[in-house]
């Protein structure tokens, strides 16, 4: 991505942040867990990743869901749905819901 494309997509103040995004910098976080299901959140920056990098992030999300469900006694986590949560015009998150399977 060249500097003009980056500026157009991200806005001038965010050029440095957008230029350094890769799959290793995306940290899936547990947004909610109730023993039966877990919601894993990632920022909208994953949309700037290549398809291969997005696949790595999806695997990280599934791993975090599995780890969380196993901590509560389940065998694994099964993907259920995804929801986009908009915080502001430029900030939103993707929440992936997983069901904990016993």
Three-state DSSP class for 36?
coil
Looking at residue 19, its pLDDT comes to 54
Domain coordinates in residue numbering, the chain: 22-101
Contacts for 60 with CB less than 8 Å, ≥ 6 apart: 23, 26, 28
Q: pLDDT tens per residue, the chain (102 residues)?
A: 444 444 445 554 444 455 567 888 899 999 999 999 999 999 988 888 899 999 999 999 999 999 999 999 999 999 999 999 998 988 899 999 999 999
Entry pTM = 0.76
Distance CA 87, CA 102 (A): 34
Q: Which two tokens stand for residue 83?
A: 């929801």
Looking at residue 14, its pLDDT comes to 46
| Furthest CA-CA distance within the chain | 50
Q: Which two tokens stand for residue 46?
A: 């994953």
């Amino acid at each position: 991505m060249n500097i003009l494309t980056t500026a157009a997509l991200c806005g001038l103040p965010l050029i440095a942040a957008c230029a350094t995004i890769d799959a290793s910098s995306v940290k899936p976080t547990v947004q909610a867990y109730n023993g039966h299901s877990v919601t894993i959140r990632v920022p909208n920056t994953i949309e700037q990743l290549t398809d291969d990098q997005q696949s790595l992030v999806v695997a990280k999300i599934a791993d975090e869901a599995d780890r969380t469900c196993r901590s509560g006694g389940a065998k694994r986590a099964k993907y259920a749905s995804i929801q986009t949560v908009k915080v502001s015009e430029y900030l939103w998150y993707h929440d992936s819901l997983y069901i904990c399977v016993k």
